Amino acid sequence: MSAQTSAKPTHYLPVREDWLNRRREAALEPDLPIVDAHHHLWDRPGWRFLAEEMAADIAASGHNVQATVFVQAITRYRTEGPESLRPVGETEFVAGIGDRAEAGAFGGVRLAAGIVGYVDLTEGAVVQDVLEAHIAAGRGRFRGVRHNAMWDADMSLVNPLNPRPRGLLLDPKYREGFARLAPLGLTFDAWLFHPQIPELTDLARAYPDTTIILDHLGGPLCAGVYEGCRAEVFAAWQPAVRELATCPNVVVKLGGLGMRVNGFGFEKAPDPPSSETLAAAFKPYFDTCLEAFGPERCMFQSNFPVDKGSFGYGEIWNAYKRMTAGMSASERAALFGGTARRIYRL
């Protein structure tokens, strides 16, 4: 394991199973097919969350999760060989989980049916070889790349495992590497903070043939220097998201708001939040994206285990079902699985 993977997960809210067990809702509409479009797997000091843990959360929730998409998590990198190829170890590891899932190891759930890996795009055009190595290692499951770009002057908001320079999405060398994605049929997952959304819009317009997935609703912040500024942040986030939606090559993942940087503070309550509480808190963000992008360009995600510090797996999917109760069957089918299946070619 590389030095990067040995860091303790202090950036994230701690997962407290005893606290989560204080609320376990029955699944609403338990037969509704679901693709969890974004989760992680890792084995870090004090925090193990691998396929068995993910499968257990799905099974306990009672929801009909049929497949999942794994997104890079700095885990199981190769420990030798060229530095640029070491992240391929993660894809190899997760592809093995996908093989086990296909063989029925996890109750019929196709865990890691799609894999999004890490490539250092700042290496420029030479990333072609690394991308091809990921494709080979993924054994038919590798679908795209995420090279995080989150930056803020308040460094307390930045994950110490992924420090990035300012303006990464605008960097010519980064874009040189980014340009290698579309010719290989690969997507790009974008994880950044809300003040950076205009930079992503610029990137999307410069590369209209590359499918870009905006992770976690574009990272609306309400911690650090943004604490107590939810209304002001929303007022800046909303028009930026609407402008980004004018790029037809961009889709968005609805979810991922249970992180420390989002500042909802669910973890401070005596009991975990109910699905009604989650639906009320997240609805303004979801409604904005649904109006701007439409259901065919939106997909739901759990962002587990990161969001597990704020709420249970069953409760977040119940919240999604509550928020979409008035939508048509076709719209809900897109949100709960259709968009993810199409974008990630599951």
**Backbone torsion region of residue 48, taken as left when φ is above 0, otherwise alpha when ψ lies between -120 and 50, otherwise beta:** beta
Reported confidence tier of residue 3, pLDDT bands at 50, 70, 90: very low
Q: What tokens does 264 get?
A: 């909802």
Residue 257 pLDDT > 70, yes or no? yes
Q: How confident is the model at residue 159 (pLDDT cuts 50, 70, 90)?
A: confident
Structure tokens at 285: 């963000």
For tokens 């009672």, name the residue: 62
**Are 119 and 74 within 8 A, CB to CB?**
no
pLDDT at residue 96, as a whole number: 98
pLDDT of residue 4: 33
In angstroms, what CA-CA distances link 346 with 25, 222, 236? Answer: 29, 34, 34
Q: Is the pLDDT of residue 2 over 90?
A: no
With contact defined as beta carbons under 8 Å apart, do 244 and 204 qualify? yes
Measured at the CA of 221, the angle between CA 340 and CA 274, to 5 degrees, comes to 65
- Does residue 261 have a pLDDT over 70? yes
pLDDT digits (tens, 9 = 90+) for 179-202: 999 999 999 999 999 999 999 999
Alpha carbons 197 and 190: distance in angstroms, whole number: 10
CA distance 152 to 174: 19
10 vs 272, residue with greater confidence = 272
Percentage of the chain lying above the pLDDT 70 cut: 97
User: Does the pLDDT at position 246 exceed 90?
Assistant: yes
Is 297 a residue whose pLDDT tops 90?
A: yes
Please report the pLDDT score of residue 9 as a whole number.
Answer: 40
Torsion of CA 23, 306, 260, 192, to 10 degrees: -140
Contacts of 175 (CB under 8 A, 6+ apart): 121, 169, 203, 206, 207
Q: Find the radius of gyration of the CA atoms of the chain.
A: 19
Mean pLDDT of the chain: 95
**What pLDDT is attached to residue 82?**
96
Tens of pLDDT, residue by residue over 107-158, are: 999 999 999 999 999 999 999 999 999 999 999 999 999 999 999 999 999 9
Q: Which of 75, 2, 80, 66 has the alpha carbon at shortest distance from 35?
A: 66
Output the CA torsion sign for 305, 310, 311, 312.
Answer: positive
Instruction: Give tens-digit pLDDT for 209-236.
Output: 999 999 999 999 999 999 999 999 999 9
Domain count, the chain: 1
SS3 49: strand
pLDDT of residue 10: 62
Q: Judge whether residue 11 has pLDDT over 90.
A: no
Closest listed residue to residue 139, CA positions, set 105, 178, 112, 109: 112
Can you give the residue range of the structural domain that contains 171?
4-343
Separation CA 278–CA 321 (nearest Å): 11
3-state secondary structure of 335: helix
Q: What is the DSSP code (8-state) at residue 304?
A: B
Cβ partners under 8 Å of residue 335, min gap 6: 254, 295, 298, 299, 300, 320, 324, 327
CA–CA separation, 168 and 62 (whole Å)? 41
How far is residue 169 CA from its own chain's centroid? 18
Contact 309, 318 (CB under 8 A): no
Token code pair at residue 247: 């790029």
Prediction pTM value: 0.95
Tokens of 346: 């599951």
CATH number for the domain spanning 83: value is: 3.20.20.140
Portion of the chain with pLDDT greater than 90, in percent: 94
Q: Amino acid identity, residue 307?
A: D
